[in-house]
Structure 1
């Protein structure tokens, strides 16, 4: 599966954008991170007047076979289904934040262990009724994994037809922090105990047990490449996010990376095409233990740190106003020349 993603190398445009930023009525660099974000979005959109158009968040839901045992997750697997209904009824945090920030929100059944009614306002993209238990066998076979990646890409392709140029991804799946920890370990070589966190609310004893279980999983499976690792440890929602990220970069969208789970998908996406990271803005630093180490591995800095670890794409939703502010100052703030304000003495 190939994605054609161009690196951001337009140095001439970058120089013009930087000149425009520096000549706003402010000291050079005074808007800090907002200036860097404006520069990146302008470069992605290949214009001196970038705009955030139709920002969208796709939330992918999927179940994990290991969650049926209840040994790595304090909540039962049925909560995935219950939360999907909560999303559809507008009751979750991601619904509230999306409405607050005027974001289009779409919910996708990537692989929930439940047969949803066809008339629901849900994108039906189910690959299977949850993954297999990777304590016993790989979570997916190669065909299922590739099918999920392809479906995620197709969903972003559909969004591109609606002039979406800014997109974020969220997820729901009891047990998916375990999958993310395993993928993080595989890509970064970070010890598994540094990758495992509280997830949906484990105490210290629960985290210790989760680490023990995942250590045993790593002894059982030895994937030969990142795609095989995704199939072995991942969830359908994570695999779809991999494809969605890659297709969004191919369409030169600004990609808002959420927290721990979405960043684990990004780690795999980068292994498929390293240029994808040029299109990514990192929304926040999750309070899930491994996420900060992921960000350090990628050598990136997040926009926000609210000690959140909810998932659902909530961090991405909270970052959208920052992106809007970045492009708005670039487009609407006066320059020294237009305002008749003197520049500093030479």
Structure 2
């Protein structure tokens, strides 16, 4: 597994960026989070006035928990989604073209076979993952291989001169994995992350259901 040394944000550049933003002809903090993003970019790039950045998009495809309950689709919706990328018919690609941002789509674990999609990078590590309520989702070796693939793409995009990369996911049941991972890393309760819906189980019922298989 690789190790990294991530330098702190460049404080002088952030301070200079903040000073410039506050002295523009506008009310203080009227652009809200956009101002904080600009300030953070200044710190990352050590440039008080970062502009003309080079953008890119990386979409990773993998079906999650495909042997779990409610797996009625068997990845067919995921295949349809990645095929739209292959055919260049997505809103993501439309927006990226306006920014002259290349879009990279890589399949590392969809349940359906995608070898017929010639515009998709084929890097399959495993076809779908196990349901974590029954057994480990993937093996440790598969996890490390997945992380290494991410590092490889980061290196590739960096060498291509990209400075800002939007990341995305195609895959069945990815939101459940994301929810459990987010709660585990942040220490937040599921009740605080889940949102209310007009129909179906309540937040408390859904949280209890997740606890029923995650806690084991």
Q: With structure 2 as the length reference, what TM-score do the two structures score?
A: 0.83
Q: Return the match for 2:109 from 104, 108, 111.
A: 111
Q: Say if 1:104 and 1:31 are closer, same or farther in 2 by CA, change over 3 A.
A: farther
> Over residues 197-231 of structure 1, what are the superposed CA-to-partner deviations in whole Å (9 max), with x where a residue is unaligned?
58xx99414977754542222132xxxxxxxxxxx
Mapped to 2, the partners of 1:145 and 1:124 lie a distance apart of: 17
Q: Is the Cα contact below 8 Å between 2:107 and 2:124 reproduced in 1?
A: yes
Q: What pairs with 1:44-83 in structure 2 (closer than 5 Å)?
A: 44-66=44-66, 69-70=69-70, 77-83=75-81
Q: State the distance in 1 between where 2:100 and 2:17 align.
A: 27
Please give the per-residue CA displacement for 1:296-345, whole angstroms capped at 9, x wherever unaligned: xxxxxxxxxxxxxxxxxxxxxxxxxxxxxxxxxxxxxxxxxxxxxxxxxx
Give the length in aligned residue pairs: 214
Alignment of 1:318-329 (within 5 A): none
Matches within 5 A, 1:15-30: 15-24=15-24, 26=25, 29=28
What does the per-residue CA deviation read over 1:234-291, in whole Å, with 9 as the maximum and x for residues that have no partner? Answer: xxxxxxxxxxxxxxxxxxxxxxxxxxxxxxxxxxxxxxxxxxxxxxxxxxxxxxxxxx
The worse-fitting range, judged by mean Cα deviation, of 162-171 and 85-94 is 85-94
Match of 1:179 among 177, 181, 192: 177
CA distance in 2, matches of 1:86, 1:214: 32
Question: Using a 3 Å threshold, how does the CA distance of structure 1 residues 185 and 22 change in structure 2: closer, same or farther?
Answer: closer
Change in Cα spacing, 1:208 to 1:37, as seen in structure 2 (3 Å) is: closer
Checking the alignment, whether the CA contact within 8 Å between 1:55 and 1:164 is kept in structure 2 is: yes
Q: CA deviation at 1:12?
A: 3.0
Tell me the alpha carbon deviations over residues 27-61 of structure 1, each in whole angstroms, 9 at most, x when there is no partner: 57265334433322122111233124321111111
Partner of 1:234: none
Aligned match of 1:308: none
SS at match of 1:69: coil
Change (3 A) 1:67 1:97: farther
Q: Structure 1: how far apart are the matches of 2:85 and 2:203?
A: 28
- 8 A Cα contact 1:81 1:114, kept in partner: yes
Instruction: Report the Cα distance in structure 2 between the residues aligned to 1:179 and 1:173, rounded to whole angstroms.
Output: 11
Task: Report the secondary structure of 1:204's partner residue.
Answer: coil
Contact 2:108/2:124 (<8 A) preserved: yes
Give 3-state SS (helix, strand or coil) of 1:109's partner: strand
CA RMSD of aligned residues (A): 2.9
1:208-219 matched pairs, under 5 angstroms:
211-219=207-215
Q: Identify if the C-alpha distance between structure 1 residues 99 and 12 changes in structure 2 by more than 3 Å, giving closer, same or farther.
A: closer
Looking at structure 2, the residues matched to 110 and 52 of structure 1 have their Cα atoms a distance apart, in angstroms, of: 32
Give the aligned partner of residue 154 of structure 1: 152
Residues 82-114 of structure 1 deviation map (CA, whole Å, 9 limit, x = unaligned): 211112112233233323444321111021112
TM-score (norm 1): 0.54
Deviation at 1:14, TM superposition (A): 3.1
- Structure 1 residue runs of 5 or longer lacking an equivalent are 221-346
How far 1:185 sits from its partner (Å)?
2.3
1:134-173 residue pairs with structure 2 within 5 A? 134-173=132-171
The answer to whether 1:32 aligns with 2:31 is yes
Higher helix share: 1
Q: CA deviation at 1:176?
A: 0.9
**Whole-angstrom CA distance in 1 between matches of 2:152 and 2:186:** 28
Deviation at 1:5, TM superposition (A): 0.6
